[in-house]
Structure formats: C-alpha cells, structure tokens
Amino acid sequence: MFNGKTPIDNLANEYYLTLAGSPAGRQEAIDGLKQRLAMQPNDTQTRVVLGKVLTYQESTRREGIDMLAGGCPNNNEADQALKQALLWLAPLPADKPLYDAYQQRHPADKAVAAYYQQNIAGSAKGVGFSELNKGDLGSAKDQFAAILASNPNDADALAGMGFTAMRSGDFAQAENYLTQAAKQGGPQSAQWGALAQEAAFYATLDKAKQAANAGQLDEALAISAPLSRATGDKGNAATLFRADLARKKGDFTASEQMYRGLLTQNPQNNDARLGLYYLLQQQRDKGPEAAQILQTIPADQRPKSSAGGSGGKCRSSAQAGRGRHAEWRSAACDDDPATGAGKAALERLGAAGYGTHPE
C-alpha cells in the first residue's frame, strides 16, 4: 500500500489495522502501532487500534483486552472491540471481573455474560468428570457444586453430583441428584432417570442392611422384599441378602429355598453356593450335604477354614455376608457407576467434551 515506507500520519492507524488483518502482517502492524503510541501516548485512537489488533491472536489477546478495558473509557469503538475479544477469549475464573465490568456498562447485553457462564461451566464440568474418573471425589464434588451455585438446574452438574455421591456410597443422595438431572430434560434425561432407579435400589438395600445391623431382622426383610423382584444382578444381590437374613433368624427352610432358587436360575452362582454351604453346615444333620456343596465351589473361593466349631462357622458366614454386600456396593461405586450406561455418560461428559474453545 505504501511500498514499504512508513504510512503518512493521518492514515497510519487505518493502514496498520488493514495490515493486521493478515497473520503474515500482524506482527509488523503491532510493532508499528506500539512505536506510534510510544511517540504519542495520549493518542486514544492509536491505543484503541493497537488494543483491537492485539486481540486478534490468542497469544496477545489478554494484553489487548486490558488495553481496551482500562485505557479507552467511554469509547464506543473500544467497547465493540472489547466485546468481540471477550467472546473470543477462553475465559478462566479469574477473568470474571472483566465480564462483570462489561455487563455493568451494558446491562441489556446478555451475550457476554452468558458466554462466560457457559464456558466456565463447561470447563468446570470437564475438570469435575476428570477428577471423578481419577477417584478424587472431593475435588469433583467441589467443581460440580460451584456450577450449581450459579445455575442450580444444570443437568450435567446435577448428574455429576449424583455420580460423586454414588461413588462415595451415598445412594440416597445419588438418587436425589440424578432424579433432578432427569427432570431437566435433554438427550441424557432418560439415562439419568435409569441411573436414579439404580441408586434408589442400592439406597433401599443399604437401609435394609442398617436395620439388620441393628438386629431388626424382620424390618430388614420387609424393607428388602420389593428388591428381590428386581431382575438381573440387582435381584440376585437382594435375594442373597434376604437368604442370609433368614439364616440369621433361624428360618432355615426359607433361606434354603432362596439359595436353591438362585442356583436354579444360575447353577454357577458361587455366592449362592457359598451361602448354601454355610446354611447346611450350620445344621447338624446336613453336614455331608454341606461337604458336597463345598466341593462344587472353586478352590480359590472356598472359606479358608471349612471345619471347626460353630463359632468359626458363624464368623465365616458373617464375613461372607459382609463380602457380598461389599460387592453389591462396588457394583454401584466403581468406575462404572451402577451400569455401563453410567460409565458411557462419564466418558461423553468428561474432559474431552468440555473446556475446549475454538480460536
């Protein structure tokens, strides 16, 4: 345009602004504008143009934003450039004052504040799900809670809180959060609803276990009765629990029926075999049958002491019951939160899906 010569003064800013439109000429434009501003530090127009040009690239964007926000008050061109820069920026929590200041000057313009909230929430979700996958439940909870503090109806953050509660074994709280997440609608709502039902199942099972630990066996049986009608692994877990309760009550007939019912459904159910073994061993006239059952259990899963006094038998049975319950809790607390769907949800909502900002 000027054949390599310094542009004439009244066209310099326009020249450098045009030059900066091409990445190849941007640094030359920045250098020229900085030199010009150094010679004329009170030239507001040059300051605005330099600030605008600095926002064109990520490496200098924050410098440009600071220049536009702090050095050009009440300048409409600077304000427009600042708005565009704030919408280009990949915001951090520390950038909140910049967005708040713009919002205060333009209360009717909601786009900038909405952009900040959306991107900060997205970044926090990515961190939250990443921490959850790593097992740092405290950090994950903090991230999701921070999102909910500004947007209590964020479905993904509600689900994240539900997963965090599930991983920590608080199934009642997990059900609450996942139910809230499902109520928000959206493509994940059916999945959150299904996981809320999973959490409700384990919450009820925990309630029954607490009653059993308090010696209230009849109450534990009543609480767990509906759970035994569940299908798949959940129904099996509930029936194993109830069979052990019946044994503790001395209702050997009911206990045996439940164990044998499980074995009819799946002859390879070693938890049911082990429970039946302890039940039969506890009855004096069924020792030979107990020994036969023991032989069907894989050697590495047999109790270390399959003989001895009744005290040893009872302790072994109690340990088996605790072990089974730990497995049920693990089914809802490991990296696959209750179901494969939960793990898939974590992967979809993990760090790979959040916190990314196009240049």
pLDDT, tens digit, for every residue of 53-111?
999 999 999 999 999 988 666 788 999 999 999 999 988 878 889 999 999 989 998 89
Check whether domain 230-299 has CATH 1.20.59.10, yes or no: no
Q: 230-299: same fold as 1-86?
A: yes
The domain ranges of the chain are: 1-86, 230-299
Q: What stretches of 185-241 adopt beta strand conformation (E)?
A: none
Phi and psi dihedrals of 281, rounded to 5?
A: -65, -30
Banded model confidence at residue 50, pLDDT cuts 50, 70, 90: very high
pLDDT of residue 73: 64
Q: Calculate the alpha carbon distances from 97 to 91, 117, 275, 295, 298 in Å.
A: 11, 13, 63, 71, 64
pLDDT at 335 over 80: no
The answer, yes or no, to whether residue 338 has pLDDT greater than 90, is no
Q: Which two tokens stand for residue 68?
A: 């536009």
Of the pLDDT bands very low, low, confident and very high (cuts 50, 70, 90), residue 163 is very high
Give domain 1-86's CATH number out of 1.25.40, 1.10.10, 3.40.50, 1.10.287: 1.25.40
- Report pLDDT for 141: 95
* pLDDT per residue as tens digits for the range 200-237: 999 999 999 999 999 999 999 999 999 999 988 889 99
**What are the pLDDT digits (tens) for 124-137?**
888 898 899 899 99
CA distance 149 to 81: 31
Per-residue confidence (pLDDT) for residue 71, from 0 to 100: 66
Q: What pTM value is reported for the model?
A: 0.59
The model's pLDDT over 274-319, given as tens digits with 9 standing for 90+, comes to 999 999 999 989 999 999 999 999 998 888 765 443 333 433 333 4
Question: What's the farthest any 2 CA atoms get from each other in the chain?
Answer: 111
- Comparing CA positions, the residue from 88, 42, 32, 45 lying closest to residue 65 is 88
Angle, alpha carbons 317-318-321 (nearest 5°): 90
* pLDDT of 189: 92
Left, alpha or beta for 358 (phi > 0: left; psi -120 to 50: alpha)?
Answer: beta
Please give the pLDDT value at position 344: 41
Q: What is the pLDDT of residue 350?
A: 36
CA angle 16, 21, 24 (to 5 degrees): 90
